[in-house]
Structure 1
Amino acid sequence: MMVYKYRGGEFDRDLVALEQDYFWAANIESLNDPCEAISDRVGLEKEFDLLFKIFGVSNDLETRDSFKGLLSQVDKMIDSTVKLGVFSLSKSYDHHLLWAHYAASHKGFCVGYDISVLQKQLNLYASLNRRPVVSREKRIFTT
């Protein structure tokens, strides 16, 4: 299956990457969408509070303390996301909105990759790191 990467803006870096057979994976903080990979502990706490009320454990301190441990692990996960690199690909090479946003307003270029070749070259576990992008009108957890 072919997948595509829209490029624009950093032409020199992108051309060198193609010549030297590597790709650039941006960190989450540098992405142009403020809701990209959003993690919201406050929203998660609100969801837990709602679950506590639904299941009648609002006053059960032992249960609430066990969820504090879970929230501590969530904090560690959120903190670790700043170290991640994101390499977004599309199943389509002719998506006008992607050309506008990610290929310098239709002035850039699009590179096609065979996903099976990418998976073999990256590592044995590449399929575990591949996730579809799900766009939403609004954030799941609101503050």
Structure 2
Amino acid sequence: MPKLYKYRGNIDLDSLDGLRLFDRDLQMIQNNEVYFSKLANIKGAIEQLANGEDTSMNDVDSWNVFGFLKLKKAYDKNTINHAHADARKTALNSGVYALSDNYSYDLMWENYGAEHKGYCIEYEIYKVKDFGLRSAKGIVPIASSRMEQVRYAEKVENFSIFRPIQKNINNFLFHANKVKSDEREWRITTSEDGLFNYDRKCLKSITFGEKASNKLIVHVMKALLPMGIKFYQIYRSEPKLLERRKI
């Protein structure tokens, strides 16, 4: 999935606090910066992990029934709970940059694009290494960075003693409750949260919501035109069909 989108809703240009947030987001685009939030700070992440299905003891019991393993002592419940907690903690402390795979979702514009008055940023990313991530601390976290589409379920089988630890962690990182499946989320993750620079060639366009003000459009375009990117605005070709036209 090469084209991914980040919706932005900080578009209040008439108050000091609103203008500060708007300018912060705009400067990040100008500086080729993105902010990776801690998974623990993403709404719903804690609940999703808490409601996950821990099958690790069932795995151990099943294998022992068939006599393949004798794991009762080596893998008692305390040991497994400790491993489970470590995987969960690692995941929750990871940095996450959440994106969507389309610019034309009504729900995304409504919830994250200031009710169609905001804008969304388009990136072209074929593989996570294409993003060229570099943290503000000068660390290049390529080995720990991943990009995957989120998988949705009511309950997530999020830990098994027979899975490699990184796979357990990834199950935490790339699962979400199915009530959010309409967001069609992709996540880029790293081992730490915070501000990162990315390769400028990945930035492709800005798309304004159908209700974006002329003031917003002029302000954003004036700031970003020197970057050589394209600009679009959403319109409705049918009541429930969003498309975009070039500005």
The TM-score with structure 1 as length reference comes to 0.71
- Structure 1 residue 86: Cα displacement: 1.0
Aligned to 1:31: 42
Distance in 2 (CA, whole Å) between partners of 1:88 and 1:20 is: 19
Larger radius of gyration: 2
Determine which of 97, 114, 127 is the counterpart of 2:124.
114
1:12 — aligned with what?
Answer: 23
Of the three residues 96, 104, 112, the one matched with 2:106 is 96
Q: Which runs of 5+ in 1 are unaligned?
A: none
Q: Which residue of 2 aligns with 1:86?
A: 96
Larger relative contact order (Cα-Cα within 8 Å, sequence gap ≥ 6):
1
Q: 1:100 to 1:56 in 2, by over 3 A?
A: same
- CA gap of 1:102–1:41, structure 2 versus 1, over 3 A, is closer
How far apart in 2 are the matches of 1:8 and 1:132? 23
**Whose strand fraction is larger, Structure 1's or Structure 2's?**
2
Counterpart of 2:165 in structure 1 is: none
Distance 2:58 2:142 in 1: 36
Q: Percent identity?
A: 23
CA contact (8 A) 2:56 2:80 kept: no
Larger proportion of helix: 1
CA RMSD of aligned residues (A): 3.2
- Change in CA separation of 1:30 and 1:40 when aligned onto 2, cut-off 3 Å: closer
- Cα distance in 2 for partners of 1:81, 1:93 equals 28
Q: Which amino acid aligns with 2:8?
A: R
Once the 2 structures are TM-superposed, how far is the Cα of residue 36 of structure 1 from its aligned partner? 6.6
- Is there any run of 5+ residues in structure 2 with no aligned partner, and where? 11-20, 134-139, 158-247
Q: Under a length normalisation based on structure 2, what TM-score does the superposition of the two structures give?
A: 0.45
Relative to structure 1, is the Cα distance of residues 65 and 37 closer, same or farther in structure 2, using a 3 angstrom cutoff? Answer: farther
Distance between the aligned counterparts of 1:92 and 1:55, measured in 2? Answer: 44
1:129 — aligned with what? 146
